[in-house]
Structure 1
Amino acid sequence: MKGIILAGGSGTRLHPLTLAVSKQLMPVYDKPMIYYPLATLLSAGIQEILIVTTAYDLPLFRKLLGNGSQLGCHFEFAVQDEPNGLAEAFLIGEAFIGNDKVALILGDNIFYGSGLAKLLQANNDPDGGIIYGYHVQDPQRYGVVEFNDRGEAISIEEKPKHPKSNFAVPGIYFYDNEVIEIARHIRPSQRGELEITDVNKAYLQKNKLKVSILDRGTAWLDTGTFSSLMQASQFVEVIEERQGLKIGAIEEVAYSMGYITKTQLHKLARPLLKSGYGAYLMRLN
């Protein structure tokens, strides 16, 4: 399975912070924002990843992440000229995806929780589509899943005025290769975008969509506003200071997944010693 991180857009809700730098390059406590979704894909067992961003920001992402070989991975980069919707990522990445299955994660979404990696790994070979449901207080801000009495998904609505449940769809999705053809045939919404909700509806109509519920011990953070960006940083700081363990450290995930050796890990850590980040990596067993 391959992965795509959607890290485009203009970040207007974070202006003036994002006038000169991509939102996904902004710090969330001690790491660039994109480290967190990247670590999520790596922990799901995905090593071939396409980063979709703007032409202006692409060189900066390439400078930050390189080609991925230092992490035992392979990274490619592509441009989304305009924010034409999440589903456009599958059309932009068609050649990259090839005949493989693909996971899409939003570059400003942070996931954290016990057992999350195992859940993602269990879903990285879908026959159809696999999305997630997460209980929220304000579902009208998101795509919302409706379930029947048997716990089966029966409808999905994008930002409904009257939500039929409190289960929002967070920004990580797993699909088989049919997603490319589905994305090609959906029509732009009233917002002029190719909506990921329409992709999910297409799979639902085929009875090929599975919705997995993220339990109450899982944190899902969206960092698209000033307050949510600050809250995410505070959340990461509290967990890391309390546990002495890092969230979203891509080098640690690559090492724990067996993508790199301890020698390679230490090589990555040495230039980062002064910040303390490298010292943390050096202490890993």
Structure 2
Amino acid sequence: MKGVVLAGGLGTRLYPLTYATNKHLLPVYDQPMIYYPIRTLVRAGIDEIIVVTGGPHAGHFLPVLRDGKHLGVRHLEYTYQPSEGGIAEALGLCEEFADGDDVCVILGDNTTDADIRPEVESFTGGALIFLARVPDPERFGCPVFDPDDPTRILKIEEKPAHPKSPYAVTGLYIYDARVFDYIRELRPSERGELEITDVNNRYLAAGELRWVELRGFWSDAGTFESLHRANRYWAEKCGWRDPEAARRWAEEGLDATRDTDTVESTNVQA
């Protein structure tokens, strides 16, 4: 399996910070933000990784990441997304890199301490998405569960005004090689983007989407509030306070912070 880190976009919700550099290079505690998703992949045993970037600061990644060896990456590539065409468009640029392999995809502003190695090692095809309980699911893709079977997802809605569940589809996905065929069939949404939610719904319609709930800390860092949340958690976990105090502090403001560092409840859509 190969890893894909999606780190494009202009980071407009973090202006004026992102006038100076790419959002994914801003600090989260003592590291650039992008180190966290890369290390999530490396901890899962994935050491061939591509970083998709874009915007006016794309060149800033090279002096920070270099060849990735200092992060445990065996082979690191870069590619450029020239337009704001969405997550699915960015993933589509990685087809040649994937070369028929399964891919584990993570958004560059996602930080988590969950261990996804079991899911990576047991993946046998289709799609696997990772969910987290959050206070603001309207900012994310949001699953709609079957009222008669709470383990079954009926569909996924992209940033719904009125979410039907408190869960977000995190920016962490595992796909087989068919994902690139599905991306080629997509049409732009009303936002003018190729939506990863449409890819997930395609797997769902085929009965080949599974989900797990992340049971470690998870947060994006794409807004000032979530960037502060991530900084606070990692600072506390890494030494400013003891780990239990860090987790307790983070839990006060984020339901997605859980009690263990594992994933829970694999569910298969039939």
Q: Smaller-chain TM-score range? A: 0.7 to 0.9
What is the one-letter code of the residue matched to 2:65? L
Gaps of 5+ in 2: 244-270
Whether the aligned pair in 2 keeps the contact of 1:106 and 1:172 (CA below 8 Å) is yes
Give the alignment's Cα RMSD to 1 decimal. Answer: 1.7
Q: Does 1:127 align with 2:128?
A: no
Amino acid at match of 2:120: Q
Partner of 1:76: 77
Unpaired runs of 5+ residues, structure 1, are 245-285
| Equivalent residue number for residue 160 of structure 2 | 160
1: distance between equivalents of 2:206 and 2:73? 37
Question: Do the aligned residues in 1 keep the contact of 2:24 with 2:108 (CA within 8 Å)?
Answer: yes
Change (3 A) 1:72 1:219: closer
Q: Deviations over 1:125-156 (max 9, x none)?
A: 34100001211222222111122233122211
Moved more, 205-214 or 194-203: 205-214
- Kept in 1: contact 2:6–2:90 (CA 8 A): yes
Paired residue for 1:99? Answer: 100
TM superposition shift of 1:58: 3.3
1:5/1:83 Cα in 2 relative to 1: closer, same or farther (>3 Å)? same
- Residues 133-152 of structure 1: matches in 2 within 5 Å? 133-148=131-146, 149-150=148-149, 151-152=151-152
User: How big is the shift at 1:12?
Assistant: 0.9
Give the structure with the higher percent helix. 1
Choose 1 or 2 for highest CA Rg: 1
- Inter-partner Cα distance in structure 2 for 1:47 and 1:243: 31
Give how far 1:55 is off.
6.0
Which of 216, 221, 224 in structure 2 is aligned with 1:223?
221
CA displacement, residues 36-92 of structure 1 (integer Å, 9 cap, x when unaligned): 011111112111111011264333212211223453510000001112100012321
User: Cα distance 1:72–1:13, how it changes in 2: closer, same or farther (>3 A)?
Assistant: closer
> Matched residue of 2:78: which SS?
strand
User: For residue 32 of structure 1, what is the amino acid of its counterpart?
Assistant: P
**Could you say if the C-alpha distance between residues 105 and 92 of structure 1 is closer, same or farther in structure 2, counting changes exceeding 3 Å?**
same
Match of 1:110 in 2: 111
| Number of positions where the alignment pairs a residue of Structure 1 with one of Structure 2 | 239
Residue of structure 2 in register with 1:250 after alignment: none
Q: Which structure has the highest strand share of the two?
A: 2
Structure 1 position 62 matched with structure 2 position 62: yes
Distance 1:38 1:48 in 2: 10
Counterpart Cα distance in 1 of 2:196 and 2:209: 13
Q: What's the TM-score once normalised by structure 1's chain length?
A: 0.79
In structure 2, the partner of 1:261 is none
Q: Which amino acid aligns with 2:142?
A: V
What is the TM-score with the length of structure 2 in the denominator?
A: 0.83
- 1:218-245, CA deviations, whole angstroms, 9 ceiling, x for partnerless residues? 211111112221221111111111358x
